[in-house]
Structure 1
Amino acid sequence: MRYTKYQYKKKSNGINFLTSVVMMILGAGAIGLIVGTMIFNTVWGNKLMKIGGTSQEVVADETVKKEAFESVQCGYFSKEENANKVLESLGKSYNSFVVKDEEKFRVLAGVFTGEEGDKALKELKDKGIEAAKVKFTLDEEDKVQEQISAISDGYFKIVTTLKNNEVKAVSTSEFKGWTKELPEITEGDKKEIIGQFKKHIEELPSELKKENLTDELKYIYTILINFKR
């Protein structure tokens, strides 16, 4: 991970939570439906917050205290039809979407972490599309933002797994269970956002499919926009 506050170690079986997310790979063949599984290995386990319990060990680490996500905005329009025209011009490469902001409409070319936002920005500009990067920064010294950061980071990785051409669906069960065990935050600026986020995760189906990808990235954006810098 880019930024970590805790190292998560599981004493019982040595498998870090969410270092493996079971992905259901579905394909149709002449003899029927073939179901396979893949293991999505990620270092996100190092990002897990301390949630208590005897099966976990949390070790403090020297780290940067900020977590950053990005989006690339491709226009801000008073008319939805104009926003939709730009959206169509972006194609399907970026999992783009339109968000209503008061009485206007923003066109976003996805949500990104790391260098992916820079790459998308350059590609769009090279195509002659006006674009600007929007950055969201969460302060992990703040309890509210720390928890939102952890949930966002894990959920983002699950959702973007669906970008893999071979992946048709991804299981949410383990992540939903982990989110449910996170401690309740009862005070702090924007604490209500955590409740909204957890409720959304709880109500997810047992697996997400490719057709859910854009809508879930859009939802992540609606959470992160509260931390625009």
Structure 2
Amino acid sequence: MKYTRIDVKNKKRSNGHNNNNNNDGKSFILLFIGVIVVALVISTAMSKFIWPEGKKTAEKERIEATSGENKETSEKDKENNKASKEDEKPKDNKVMAESVGGQEYVMIQCGFYSNKENANNVKAQLEDDYIAVSLSEAENYRVIVHIGNEEEATKLSNELNEKGVSNTKGRFMIPKTDVCSNEIIEIVNGYVNIINKLKEDSVKGVKTTEFKEWVNSLEEHSDSEYFKVFKELKGGINKIPDEITKKNIEESYQIVFNTLNNFKVNK
């Protein structure tokens, strides 16, 4: 019979070596876990030290408060811009006058030119049948033949159309909002009556002394939104001669137009 020899010593040595390897692996894992735990503890402690809870809360409240203020400011800016835009819109004097009462004036215009010579040429063509004048506005010139009420303006416009003369209507409306605006209406009405009188063939001149004295006797209302217009109109009338002739019609219409142009009706 054959016998197999078993090396008991070598087997024991081999088992001992494997046990040592297992122990080393377990130690490494435990060490790794320990390092992670220590790192977490240290990071937590440091975060509390660097940014305490109270500071976090205070900073959060500050950010929220700032955000709220910015939002509120933004809303106010929007409202202010909206109000500003509303203020920038042109006033519809016709709507205003219709709501509070007012006086309408109609102007018959036969041309609008940037060149004064062209305006004078058209004016000369009309002078055989009408008293036409050239009114300056900024760097432009308007050739007109009438400023007055709707009925007179429509009659004259139809007459011009029949003669093949192109014309348009310009409208103005002075609202009766206060004493000052009413005084402007009365002054314009009086001045237009003087101009119409001068346009009559038989009239050579009209004295204006009493008219100017009356204008200067009117009470001034500096708190009115139309006070500046009133002062400019009053100043223009005080510059006209004590007696005006047909040569002063253009100057007189210019004063009236400068006043009415503040009350132009938006189309």
What TM bracket, shorter-length normalisation?
0.5 to 0.7
Cα displacement string for residues 73-106 of structure 1 (whole angstroms, at most 9, x for unaligned residues): 1122232232222222222543222223333322
Give the alignment's Cα RMSD to 1 decimal.
Answer: 2.0
User: Partners of 1:184 and 1:96 in 2: how far apart?
Assistant: 34
Query: What are the residue-to-residue correspondences of 1:8-23 with 2, within 5 Å?
Result: none
Query: What are the residue-to-residue correspondences of 1:2-151 with 2, within 5 Å?
Result: 65-151=101-187
Asked if the contact 2:136/2:254 (under 8 Å) is kept, the reply is no
TM normalised by structure 1 equals: 0.66
Q: Percent same amino acid among aligned pairs?
A: 31
Show the counterpart of 2:251: 215
Asked if the contact 2:236/2:255 (under 8 Å) is kept, the reply is no
Of 233, 242, 259, 1:197 maps to 233
Query: What are the residue-to-residue correspondences of 1:154-193 with 2, within 5 Å?
Result: 154-193=190-229
Partner amino acid, structure 1, of 2:248:
N
Q: Secondary structure in 1 aligned to 2:244?
A: strand
Cα displacement string for residues 19-70 of structure 1 (whole angstroms, at most 9, x for unaligned residues): xxxxxxxxxxxxxxxxxxxxxxxxxxxxxxxxxxxxxxxxxxxxx8221111
For these two proteins, the number of residue pairs brought into alignment is 166
- Shift in alpha-carbon separation, 1:146–1:94, aligned structure 2, 3 A: farther
Show the counterpart of 1:26: none
Q: Secondary structure in 2 aligned to 1:94?
A: coil
Asked if the contact 2:108/2:147 (under 8 Å) is kept, the reply is yes
Q: Secondary structure in 2 aligned to 1:137?
A: strand
Rg bigger for which structure? 2
Show the counterpart of 1:227: 263
Q: After TM superposition, what 4+ stretches of structure 1 lie above 4 angstroms from structure 2?
A: none
Q: CA deviation at 1:114?
A: 4.2
Q: CA deviation at 1:128?
A: 1.5
The structure where helix makes up a greater share of residues is 2
The structure where strand makes up a greater share of residues is 1
User: Partners of 1:102 and 1:91 in 2: how far apart?
Assistant: 24
- Shift in alpha-carbon separation, 1:101–1:166, aligned structure 2, 3 A: closer
User: Partners of 2:129 and 2:227 in 1: how far apart?
Assistant: 34
Q: CA deviation at 1:165?
A: 2.1
